[in-house]
């Protein structure tokens, strides 16, 4: 069997693209220099795949920011406000990605959303009434030719018309149906052009097909491809799906003129049975996603080869592929100098997965797996016991009972008590936790990490940052303060380092959005808290001021969702283990006199299953209790906050309310306040702080803007329940814009408050 890759990480093994882009944004390098970095990365990635014998290598999986944004630009979906800036092509693109504030104007960034059930974020295309979709750019063609010039035939990857239309936002009166004709023509033109270039295969990504589809959706999909595929000429078209199975449209996919069909056999629970029940045509190639593009564990060869044999019974032509783009795993294990060798043997990152594809490809060609040393080695890894179990932890989870998930007093009564306890003004102002991580802050951490300074010196500096931060917030007039989170670079890693069972990497970065990368820890064994984690920082901060300072923790669901999970126990078991550890920390904070504790569940929505049917059974039924587990033991007057990013939780507002927090803050400015209507409708009980400005862009919101936003919110939210805060933490921002923005935030809150 031949091998294929759906997409490869693009930021580079040492995040070269990130650093070059950021230099470009700061005006430190030219566009040409940025292009050079990009080109050399593409080259490296293609050659790497080629040297690992990959038969179907992707191109145009590279992006300066995001593939969906690339697609929008390719289809000419650049809204007028960005064109009007009069910037060149590249800077117009970055204006859409990041917003622009300068001589040429002031525009906000595109909305950003989570890419299905991953921690990757895409830019939401905006289809305004005035937009004329047509093939405009040349990126896929340029990159295809670039690879070809290196002697590498690639399959250009583009987002499919169905997914594009499904994920786009319609600002005017036109809907997806109104764009069908234009979009078909544009994709036809793409195929013509590829045909002209002699491209052999194109990969059209249609992950939206794994969602629950309505009759109308299926009709739209069929209409689009009946038309588009008429223009393929000599280009072979692979329709690539991932993140689930295509149970709602499998038969339609088969009946269309695709040459290759890419299916996910790992997350697609029904993929194998779809195949069994409906077969697979002999004149098409099945790209079987069996190498996990989302997790870092080595592939179990025996299991995978058995699966491939099963697949071969249904399909004549099979290519071994990744389950999704490798974008969601780190680049390579090779730069991990601190992991012990025997730990490393369990892992495969993107580069190592190429090797797995190659080995599987060779073994399937031969048929006699057992003759291969690689097979033998792999068997040994999976058959031997690794030491990672903790009996006590397992017993604690087993012993959990209903009372561990419930606070003593109900929320309404707590609210009254807390209003008296804290005596805050109406519309209290606060922030989400982190303040800018300046060079000084980062340097302190890196000096400590490198062993140049001891823990005491390190903490002394952290305390100094905290003090400065508290004074700044008092000056700004914020009501509920934070300590600034200077002791952590990452909200999961910091906790994981104080929990047994986690493993950390040095360079295992994964792109989260644009130039932002995260370095998820690996859950390797049973989890428990080793020592108090945040207590002395929080206590120090609270000692500096009369105003309440929030204790700041990361919740169990987020820790789980932002880590690479084990594959040998259930998610529920892992999350309860973490929940107990966080509960220990919550109790210690309370004991130390911290009266408000925020437990961030930034990533709660992230792993909500794509199909509604699975929401409760597979996720919410343990995710919501896991949060409650953390705070069930605190006193009624202790106020529990939580925070969620990129929430879009309209459909699960009741479940969010059931987390039984006292206050929740969440992202609201980029998703343009949609959720507030849902809160109103559900009689949401938790007090809320919908973010009043977008912190993902350096743009400073004006007092007027925030005032208007608050007034709008007050139309739907009880004034006794509304909090005023930014969208998310401020750690990625600079100090000047942070100060200016928060000053405006406080002014706006005061202005609105005085009218109430
Ligand atoms: N408390 C964290 C911070 O302020 C929350 C970050 C997040 O939601 N991603 O940075
Ligand atoms: Zn957030």
Nearest CA to ligand 1 atom 5: 729
Q: Where is the domain boundary, 383, 411, 444? A: 383
Evaluate whether residue 156 is within a structural domain: yes
Q: Say what the pLDDT of residue 480 is.
A: 98
Whether residues 374 and 446 fall in one domain? no
Say whether both 378 and 440 belong to one domain.
no
Task: For residue 504, tell me if it sits in a domain.
Answer: no
Same domain, 301 and 214: yes
Residue 630 marked ligand-binding: no
State whether 455 and 353 are in the same domain. no
Average pLDDT of span 373-381 = 95
Say if residue 647's pLDDT is above 80.
Answer: no
Same domain, 322 and 446: no
Rounded-to-integer distance, Cα 200 and Cα 197, Å: 9
Q: For the packed helices 703-716 and 735-754, what is the interaxial angle rounded to 10 degrees? A: 50
**Contact call for residues 159 and 214 (beta carbons, < 8 A):** no
Q: Is 534 in the pocket of ligand 1 (CB under 6 A)?
A: no
Question: Could you tell me which residues come within 8 angstroms of residue 608 by beta carbon, excluding any fewer than 6 positions away?
Answer: 117, 615, 619, 620, 652
pLDDT of residue 593: 98
Question: What is the Cα–Cα distance from 754 to 756, expressed in whole angstroms?
Answer: 6
- CB crowding 585-621: b at 16 or more within 10 Å, else e: bbebbbeeebbbbbbbbbbbbbbbbbbeeebeebbbe
- 7 with 107, same domain? yes
How many Å lie between the centroid of ligand 1 and the Cα of residue 506? 21
Q: What is the largest CA-CA distance in the chain?
A: 80
pLDDT over 90 (residue 367) = no
Classify residue 564: in a domain, yes or no.
no
Residue 273: pLDDT band by 50, 70, 90 thresholds? very high
Q: Kindly state whether residue 396 falls inside one of the protein's structural domains.
A: no
Domain assignment present for residue 570? The answer is no
Q: Look at residues 368, 383, 398 and tell me which one is the last residue of a structural domain.
A: 383
The answer on 273 and 175 residing in a single domain is yes
Determine, yes or no, domain membership for 418.
no
The answer to whether residues 624 and 658 touch, using CB atoms and an 8 Å cutoff, is yes
Report the complex ipTM.
0.99
**What is the residue with the minimal CA distance to atom 4 of ligand 1?**
729
Question: How many domains does one find in the chain?
Answer: 2
- pLDDT for the residue numbered 670: 62
Shared-domain flag, residues 666 and 732: yes
Ligand positioned closest to the Cα atom of 550: 1
Indicate which CATH number applies to the domain containing 374.
Answer: 3.20.20.210
Average pLDDT of 555-563? 96
**Same domain? 110 vs 177:** yes
CA distance 489 to 660: 28
CA distance 1 to 444: 52
Q: Is residue 696 annotated as a catalytic residue, yes or no? A: yes
Residues 71 and 17 in one domain: yes
Asked whether residue 672 carries a pLDDT value surpassing 80, the answer given is no
Residue 566 located in a structural domain: no
Q: Which domain holds residue 480?
A: 427-487+550-555+584-755
pLDDT tens for residues 72-119? 999 999 999 999 999 999 999 999 999 999 999 999 999 888 899 998
In a domain, residue 499? The reply is: no
Average pLDDT, the chain: 96
Pocket probe for ligand 1: among 557, 729, 742, the residue whose CB has the most ligand atoms within 8 Å is 729
The answer to the question of whether 640 is labelled as a binding residue is no
Q: Please report the atom of ligand 1 found closest to the CA of residue 552.
A: 1
> Residues 368, 431: one domain?
no
What residues contact 348, with CB distance under 8 A and at least 6 apart? 296, 297, 298, 299, 333, 355, 356
> Is the CB of 645 within 6 Å of ligand 1?
yes
Q: Counting ligands in written order, which one lies closest to the CA of residue 645? A: 2
Average pLDDT in the 449-461 region?
Answer: 96
What pTM did the predictor assign?
0.91
Same domain for 431 and 351, yes or no, is no
Last residue of a domain, one of 383, 400, 435: 383
Please identify which of the residues 45, 55, 121, 696 carries the catalytic annotation: 696
Residues 607 and 532: their CA atoms lie apart, in Å, by 28
CA of 602 to the centre of ligand 1 (A): 7
**What does the DSSP 8-state code read for residue 229?**
G
Distance in angstroms (rounded) separating the CA atoms of residues 482 and 45 = 43
Q: Which ligand is nearest to the CA of 551?
A: 1
For 198-232, how does the pLDDT look when each residue is reduced to its tens digit (9 = 90+)?
A: 999 999 999 999 999 999 999 999 999 999 999 99
Q: Is 710 annotated as a binding residue?
A: no
Strand partners, 179: none
Q: For 127-168, write each residue's pLDDT tens digit.
A: 999 899 999 999 999 999 999 999 999 999 999 999 999 999
């Amino acid at each position: 069997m031949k091998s294929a890759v759906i997409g490869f990480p693009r930021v580079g093994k040492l995040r070269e693209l990130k650093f070059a882009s950021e230099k470009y944004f700061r005006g430190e390098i030219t566009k040409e220099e940025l292009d050079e970095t990009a080109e050399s990365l593409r080259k490296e990635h293609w050659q790497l795949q080629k040297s690992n014998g990959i038969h179907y290598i992707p191109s145009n999986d590279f992006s300066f920011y995001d593939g969906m944004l690339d697609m929008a630009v390719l289809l000419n979906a650049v809204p007028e406000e960005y064109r009007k800036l009069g910037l060149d092509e590249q800077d117009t693109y970055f204006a859409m990605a990041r917003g622009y504030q300068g001589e040429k104007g002031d525009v906000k960034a595109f909305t950003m959303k989570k890419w299905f059930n991953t921690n990757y974020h895409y830019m939401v295309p905006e289809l305004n009434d005035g937009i004329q979709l047509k093939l405009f750019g040349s990126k896929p063609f340029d990159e295809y030719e670039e690879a070809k010039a290196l002697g590498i035939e690639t399959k250009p990857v583009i987002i499919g018309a169905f997914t594009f239309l499904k994920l786009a936002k319609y600002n005017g009166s036109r809907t997806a149906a109104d764009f069908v004709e234009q979009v078909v023509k544009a994709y036809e033109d793409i195929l013509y052009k590829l045909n002209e270039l002699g491209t052999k295969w194109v990969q059209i990504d249609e992950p939206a097909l794994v969602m629950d589809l309505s009759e109308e959706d299926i009709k739209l999909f069929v209409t689009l491809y009946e038309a588009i595929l008429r223009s393929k000429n000599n280009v072979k078209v692979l329709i690539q799906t991932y993140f689930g199975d295509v149970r709602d449209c499998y038969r339609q996919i088969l009946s269309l003129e695709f040459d290759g069909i890419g299916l996910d056999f790992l997350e697609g629970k029904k993929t194998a049975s779809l195949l069994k029940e409906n077969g697979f045509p002999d004149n098409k190639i099945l790209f079987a996603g069996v190498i996990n593009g989302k997790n870092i564990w080595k592939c179990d060869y025996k299991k995978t080869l058995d699966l491939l044999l099963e697949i071969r019974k249904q399909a004549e032509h099979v290519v071994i592929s990744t389950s999704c783009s490798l974008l969601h795993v780190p680049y390579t294990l090779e730069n991990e100098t601190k992991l012990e060798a025997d730990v490393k043997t369990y892992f495969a990152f993107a580069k190592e997965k190429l090797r797995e594809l190659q080995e599987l490809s060779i073994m399937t060609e031969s048929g006699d797996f057992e003759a291969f040393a690689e097979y033998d080695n792999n068997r040994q890894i999976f058959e031997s016991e690794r030491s990672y179990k903790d009996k006590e932890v397992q017993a604690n989870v087993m012993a959990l009972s209903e009372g561990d998930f419930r606070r003593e007093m109900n929320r309404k009564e707590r609210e009254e008590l807390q209003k008296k306890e804290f005596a805050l003004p109406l519309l209290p102002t606060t922030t989400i936790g982190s303040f800018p991580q300046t060079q000084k802050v980062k340097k302190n951490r890196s000096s400590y990490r490198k062993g140049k300074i001891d823990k005491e010196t390190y903490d002394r500096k952290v305390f100094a940052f905290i003090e400065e931060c508290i004074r700044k917030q008092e000056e700004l007039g914020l009501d509920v303060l934070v300590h600034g989170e200077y002791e952590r670079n990452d909200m999961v890693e910091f906790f994981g380092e104080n929990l047994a069972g986690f493993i950390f990497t040095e360079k295992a970065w994964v792109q989260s959005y644009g130039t932002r990368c995260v370095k998820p820890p690996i859950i390797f064994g049973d989890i428990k808290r080793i020592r108090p984690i945040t207590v002395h920082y929080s206590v120090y901060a609270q000692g500096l001021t009369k105003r309440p300072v929030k204790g700041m923790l990361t919740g169990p669901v987020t820790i789980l969702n932002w880590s690479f999970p084990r594959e040998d126990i259930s998610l529920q078991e892992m999350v309860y283990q973490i929940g107990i550890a966080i509960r220990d920390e919550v109790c210690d904070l309370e004991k130390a006199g911290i009266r408000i504790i925020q437990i961030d569940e930034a990533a709660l929505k992230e792993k909500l299953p794509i199909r509604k049917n699975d929401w409760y059974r597979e996720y919410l039924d343990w995710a919501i209790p896991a949060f409650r587990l953390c705070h069930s033991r605190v006193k009624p007057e202790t106020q529990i906050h939580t925070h969620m990013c990129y929430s879009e939780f309209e459909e699960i507002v009741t479940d969010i309310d059931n987390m039984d927090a006292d206050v929740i803050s969440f992202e609201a400015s980029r998703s343009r306040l949609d959720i507030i209507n849902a809160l109103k409708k559900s009689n949401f009980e938790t007090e809320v702080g919908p973010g009043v400005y977008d912190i993902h862009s350096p743009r400073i919101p004006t007092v007027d803007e925030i005032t208007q936003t608050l007034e709008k919110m007050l139309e739907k939210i009880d004034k006794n329940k509304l909090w005023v805060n930014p969208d998310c933490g401020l750690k990625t921002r600079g100090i000047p814009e942070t100060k200016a923005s928060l000053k405006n935030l406080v002014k706006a809150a005061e202005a609105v408050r005085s009218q109430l």
